[in-house]
Amino acid sequence: MLFTDWTLLRLFPPLRGAWSPIGIPHGVLITGENAKAVLFGTINPRTGHRVVVVRPKAAGEDARAFLREVRRHYPRAGTIWLLADRASAHTDHRTQALAAQLRIRFVWLPTQASELNVMDQLWRELKRVIAANRQFPTVLALAAAAMLWVLMLAPREARREAGLLSPNFWLRDL
């Protein structure tokens, strides 16, 4: 059983905090097009093992590439259960067909309940630490830094950042 989700990274950083003198707006310099990349990721709630893939979009073909990578990381596993939201990339009929072929089953989390998906919690911390208030030279540099941050966390730290170690975590008996 794995939690899965994707997140959008944009070259222009989310601004979480800045200061300027009272009455003088803080200027935000931006140039060019707001390039984007998508991180698909999973976390094993028991072990903290993560799989992260950078893709240009969050479309069906990108989700299918991610499913292939998940299966590659768990070649001996029987059926892989992915707890996920109903994003169109997940529900696409070709994605569902490939999932069945790869022995991957989706377990749908309730709509509008991002707090139940621990990958959302990990993405939130990633954006706070890596992306907020700083701009990378390219969106690929941002995506590489983001992917490394997720993968370099110690398993216990990844589980803690994702909220899995909270005494209030909603899914017990992992």
Q: What is the pLDDT of residues 78-97, one digit of tens each?
A: 999 999 988 888 889 999 99
- How far is 150 from 73, CA to CA, in rounded Å? 16
pTM, two decimals, is 0.84
What is the pLDDT, as a whole number, of residue 8? 87
Strand order in the sheet with 104-108: 50-55, 36-43, 2-10, 80-84, 104-108
What is the pLDDT, as a whole number, of residue 107? 94
Query: Could you tell me the mean pLDDT of each successive run of 10 residues in the chain, 174 residues long?
Result: 92 63 71 78 96 94 96 96 90 95 94 84 91 83 95 96 87 65
Retrieve residue 168's tokens.
């209030």
The structural domains of the chain, with segments of one domain joined by +, span 2-11+34-161
**If one looks up domain 2-11+34-161 in CATH, what number appears?**
3.30.420.10
Pick the closest to residue 39 from 15, 2, 69, 75 (CA basis).
Answer: 69
**Residues 142-151: tens digit of each pLDDT:** 999 999 999 9
* Beta partners for residue 3, in sequence order: 43, 83
Retrieve residue 86's tokens.
């109903």
What is the pLDDT, as a whole number, of residue 133? 75
